[in-house]
Amino acid sequence: MLFEKIRKSTLVLLAGLMLGGTVWAQTLDVATAVVPATHTLTINIKGTIGPILSGTDPLGFNGKSGTVTVLASESLKPTKHTATSATYTLPPGAIKVSEGGKHFSTKSPSKMIINLTSTADILTLVIAGPNGLMVTDTTFLKANSWTNAVLKHPGVFTPSPQKLTSATTAGGPGCQVKYTIFGSTTVLGFHGTGSSSSTVDPVLADEED
């Protein structure tokens, strides 16, 4: 009987040590785990708006300077995709626009659509502005500016910067800006430069009481 009690006590002790070691190891793994860094993609498109390709240009953008800045987390996943395209939904405030002296930041979600074709990689931004203004900005980049990885998560394009060439017909190849306001739609060309970069988001320390 005494031997049996000693054997049971030993087994209980060993089980406790093994369990405690497992818990300690798990705690250590969590404490020492490296959290993957997150990145923010910045795309800058700037240049001159025009010529008028269709419509009457009621806002007078033709010949004026224009800038579009996009901020997007590289952890985003597409809301829609095909074998050669991806559509991303960007949160309010992700896009800043300056066109013809008018400036605004998006107050509602926007769309960023990337199409990879044999002749160009096409970036399309669908933006809602103030007073019912709707803007579709289409930028033609060099073919193979992005890899297929951009169809899973947003990322930088290369080369950066690169020259942007205006479209010569509405809906044709080349960069163009379409806007609709007060029931009127205008399409203008656009030429300038496009660039992209990526930065690591800062890791904020937990606030202590």
Rounded to whole angstroms, how far apart are CA atoms 157 and 149?
11
Residues belonging to the chain? 209
Report CA dihedral (152, 176, 65, 135) to the nearest 10 degrees: -70
Rounded to whole angstroms, how far apart are CA atoms 122 and 49?
18
Amino acid occupying residue 196 = S
Rounded to whole angstroms, how far apart are CA atoms 10 and 18?
12
Rounded to whole angstroms, how far apart are CA atoms 198 and 63?
31
Rounded to whole angstroms, how far apart are CA atoms 146 and 142?
9
pTM score: 0.80
Cβ atoms 72, 40 nearer than 8 A: yes
For residue 13, pLDDT beyond 50: no
Least confident of 18-27, 147-156, 168-177: 18-27
For residue 125, pLDDT beyond 70: yes
Task: Quickly state the pLDDT bin for 202 (edges 50, 70, 90).
Answer: low
For residue 145, the model assigns a pLDDT of 98
Q: If DSSP codes are grouped into helix, strand and coil, which group holds residue 28?
A: helix
pLDDT in tens, 20-62: 433 333 333 333 444 446 899 999 999 999 999 999 999 999 9
pLDDT in tens, 80-124: 999 999 999 999 999 999 987 789 999 999 999 999 999 999 999
Distances (CA, A) of 136 to 145, 159, 192: 21, 24, 17
Rounded to whole angstroms, how far apart are CA atoms 142 and 117?
10
Q: Whose CA is closest to 126, among 136, 113, 114, 115?
A: 136
For residue 35, the model assigns a pLDDT of 43
Between CA 80 and CA 194, with CA 77 as vertex, the angle to 5 degrees is 90
For residue 72, the model assigns a pLDDT of 96
Based on C-alpha coordinates, what's the Rg of the chain?
Answer: 27
